[in-house]
Amino acid sequence: MSHAVPHSLTLRRGFSPYPFRVLLFLVVIGVIPLLHPAQTQADTRSITVDGKVPAQYLAETQGKSWAVIIGVDKYMNLAGLAYAVDDAKAVARMLESQGFTVTSLYNTQATRKAILRELRQNLLTRVQKNDRVVIFFAGHIGETSSKGKQQPEGYMMPVDTEPGLLADTAISVELFRELSAELPAKQVLFLIDICYGSITGRNLRSLPPMTKNYLQRIASEPARQLITAGGTGQQALAGPKWKHSVFTYYLLEAIGKGHGDLNGDGIIPTSELFAFLDEHVQSAALTHNHVQRPEMWGLSQDRGEFVFIPGKKSSKPQTAKDQKRQGGGSNPETGTIETIVGLLKSFSNPFDAFTDNAPSGTNEQVEKQTTLAEEAAALAKERERFELQALQTLKEQQQREKELQAQLAETQRLAAEEEQRRVAAEQARQE
């Protein structure tokens, strides 16, 4: 299933054993940038190509931009979902604002026949070799075990999917690979708000090195990329605090509100988009005692990248902790535990990370800063412990699922043998 809303979603409090300590440490971290402005200014190196800003350069060198947006939350034969259609509609609006020509299929429109007709017929006739294509899907995913295959086969589930008949009524995720090969477009990006990790392709996680002709290179070369909301065995988190799935929420924050432009250079290539999603989706899930980490895959050996132009930047994206706070306004508390821990982990010693950025002062101030740094280090260890527990729980769940699948396969095998014996006996009697 794509979207799962744990009953305890609104009751989780993250690192509740240390609320007062967290507050003190966040206040200090919030003050440090004011005392060291030269060290904390964002990198705002805006790329220009032949004197043109990215939006102008891409408009002049790229073909048309197409999008097919699919969302299903009211199924004919399956349990409903929350927010899938809202997710799809929000992504459609965002892409339209980016200049995409959007075709949308929601609920009853999103039958298997209609989806395949749009993807395999209509899209193929419209798209030209210099164009770009985005395909977004939010809905259920199903899996079946196939004989001779180590990994289960995944299926996107249209509105008319029938349980137990996935091969005939759903759409195999292998369609992504087939479409990536069939579409004449220069660049194709699949944004799939489901958790599925058994993709045949290159798993991509690192940011590529920046070069002088970076934008020209990635925008001119072909690309076939896929980003999923999570991996195999995970469930996509959704809830009223986001009014979306957590994946789509941060996708909208990244592109629509410009927060995915991490280095301030005026473009959001898919590698940068994924880095933003990876950090924020995983952090939000962990805050709610949930394991979800997006995955990005290369479906070909092409080295280009899909490039978005960031929308007008609003206030910084809300993190899991921000969304729990009541009220608003500027406040040094608004950083998350996860962000601080990430900063501390970038140093060999959390104490060094703090003291290297801390202002000089009296002995009493230094002692206070030292105490706060030590408490921050303790929080970092606590977070690591929590992550290990969550990963262990996931592994145990996956092991149980494998055992159940093995039992089911054995039961089916025995039933098939029994049926063969029955048929043989019936034939013998007739002879």
CATH code of the domain covering residue 196: 3.40.50.1460
pTM over 0.75: no
> So what's the pLDDT on residue 170?
93
Q: What is the pLDDT along the chain (431 residues), one digit of tens a residue?
A: 445 444 334 222 232 333 333 333 333 334 334 334 333 333 444 566 666 666 666 767 778 999 999 999 999 999 888 899 999 999 999 999 999 999 999 999 999 999 999 999 999 999 999 999 999 999 988 877 766 666 677 888 999 999 889 989 999 888 888 888 899 999 999 999 877 544 444 444 444 444 446 666 666 687 889 898 887 666 776 777 778 888 999 999 999 999 999 888 888 999 899 999 999 998 888 887 888 888 888 777 777 888 898 887 665 665 555 554 444 333 333 344 444 444 444 444 444 444 444 444 545 665 666 677 777 777 777 777 777 777 777 777 777 767 777 777 777 777 778 778 888 888 888 87
Separation of alpha carbons 217 and 6, rounded Å: 43
What is d(CA 190, CA 405) in angstroms, rounded to the nearest whole number?
29
Q: What is the pLDDT of residue 348?
A: 42
Residue 362 falls inside a structural domain: no
Residue 413 lies in a domain: no
pLDDT of residue 369: 65
Alpha helices, H only, 62-154? 84-97, 112-117, 123-126
User: b/e per residue, 300-321, with b = 16+ CB within 10 A?
Assistant: bebebbbbbbbbeeeeebbbbb
Domains of the chain: total: 1
Residue found by looking up tokens 């292998």 in the block: 174
- Give residue 242's domain range: 40-308
Distance CA 380, CA 280 (A): 17
Residue-level pLDDT at 179: 86
pLDDT computed for residue 202 by the predictor: 40
Burial of 38 (0-12, 13-18, 19+ CB in 10 A): exposed
pLDDT at 345: 46
**Nearest-10 crossing angle of helices 84-97, 246-255:** 10
Q: What is the pLDDT of residue 257?
A: 92
**Residue 214 vs residues 8, 63, 129, 186, 265: alpha-carbon distances, Å:** 45, 19, 21, 17, 11
Based on the number of CB atoms within 10 Å of its own CB, is 134 exposed (0-12), middle (13-18) or buried (19 or more)?
A: buried
Rg (CA), the chain: 25
Q: Is residue 136 part of a domain?
A: yes
Q: Looking at residue 259, what is its pLDDT?
A: 92
Is residue 146 included in any domain, yes or no? yes
> Which pLDDT value is given to residue 116?
95
- The CA-based dihedral angle spanning residues 256, 262, 268, 270, taken in that order and rounded to the nearest 10 degrees: -110
What pLDDT, on a 0 to 100 scale, did the predictor assign at position 377?
A: 74
Residue 383 lies in a domain: no
pLDDT of 21: 35
Question: pLDDT value at position 12?
Answer: 24
Domain annotation covers residue 427:
no
Asked whether residue 209 is domain-assigned, the answer is yes
Q: What is the pLDDT of residue 368?
A: 65
Question: Residue 291: inside a domain, yes or no?
Answer: yes
Q: Which residue carries 């002879």 as its tokens?
A: 431
Instruction: Please count the other Cβ atoms lying within 10 Å of the Cβ belonging to residue 6.
Output: 15
